Amino acid sequence: MEQYFVNNIINSNRYTVDDKDLFKHIAVVLRHQTGDELFLVDQSKALFKAIIDQIDVDGKQIIFDVEKDNRPSTEMPVDLIVACSLSKKDKVEWIAQKSTELGAKKIILFSSKYSIMNWKSNIVEKKISRINEIVKNAAQQSKRRIIPEVIYYSSMKDLLKESAESKIVAYEESAKDGEQSLMAKELAKKPTSIIGVFGPEGGFAPEEIDFLKESGYTAAGLGPRIMRAETAPMYFLSAISFNYELQQLGDN
């Protein structure tokens, strides 16, 4: 069953969708009819089962009968931020989509020394707007309760604005030094918030790694194989989900 985010709090057993885009998607593109069921998630992250009661074609509104649904949240039990150095357009969009499916709460894109792309200030808004759209769709498809936030930082130094109990920078040189278990050691502390920072295809400059280490980051390898820039954050998110959502459940 499809799920859509709505821009209000739902606080009665009737709800009217009057967002033009959402009306068009549900009534025109997908041709839903009276009686069809779907999920709505409101601004308080509450989930509702919603049955179409009326489709007002002239007014471009859909009126739903709604009922709160109490199934467990699909959100990670840990606040996860992924910060990825800028890459080619399709890779950035892909990272945003997959990070959403894999449970990130915030997605940061930033410029670093060896980034193969830079966003000029006049295109940032357009780029972020397009990525927000991708992230919203991915959040709906994967049945998230929130839409992850997307941020752009033109300088790596801005990463210091982000606080988290555990700060990890993926660094393949660490793997070469045999430090492969540092990420597992960080997770074993069961932090309630984690930020993972990922470099571009060309990697981080040594001074960038030094800067992050001096700022409280652990430089951790993600296993012995070299991953592409877009693969490493997916590994990171998957490993954390496995650890927090499957293993710790198994511990009980």
Among 132, 180, 193, 218, binds a copy of itself (CB under 8 A): 180
Query: What are residue 220's phi and psi, to 5 degrees?
Result: -125, 140
Task: With CA atoms as reference, report the closest residue to 38 among 69, 10, 61, 7.
Answer: 69
The backbone torsions φ and ψ at residue 33, rounded to the nearest 5 degrees and listed phi first, read -120, 165
Q: Is 134 in the site for a copy of itself (CB under 8 A)?
A: no
Reading the block at residue 145, the tokens are: 């309760």
Looking at 36-44, 114-122, 138-146, 154-162, which segment touches a copy of itself (CB under 8 A)? 138-146
Residues in region 33-92 near a copy of itself by CB under 8 A: 72-74
Of positions 24, 45, 185, 190, contacts a copy of itself by CB under 8 A:
185
Q: Does 245 bind a copy of itself (CB under 8 A)?
A: yes
Which region, judged by CB under 8 A, interacts with a copy of itself, from 22-30, 50-58, 141-149, 158-166? 141-149
Neighbouring residues of 99: CB distance < 8 A, sequence distance ≥ 6: 82, 107, 148, 233, 234, 237
* Window 100-119: contact mask with a copy of itself (x via CB under 8 A): -xxx----------------
Question: Which range, of 25-33, 61-69, 123-131, 236-244, touches a copy of itself by CB under 8 A?
Answer: 236-244
- Does 226 sit near a copy of itself (CB under 8 A)? yes
User: Among 22, 143, 162, 205, which residue interacts with a copy of itself (rule: CB under 8 A)?
Assistant: 143
Q: How many residues bind a copy of itself (CB under 8 A)?
A: 37
Please, what is the minimum distance in Å from the beta carbon of residue 222 to a copy of itself?
8
Q: Is 24 in the site for a copy of itself (CB under 8 A)?
A: no
Full strand arrangement of the beta sheet holding 37-41: 3-5, 37-41, 47-56, 61-68, 14-17
Residues at the interface with a copy of itself (CB under 8 A):
72-74, 98, 101-103, 141-144, 180-181, 183-185, 188, 222-228, 231, 234-235, 238-239, 241-243, 245-247, 249-250
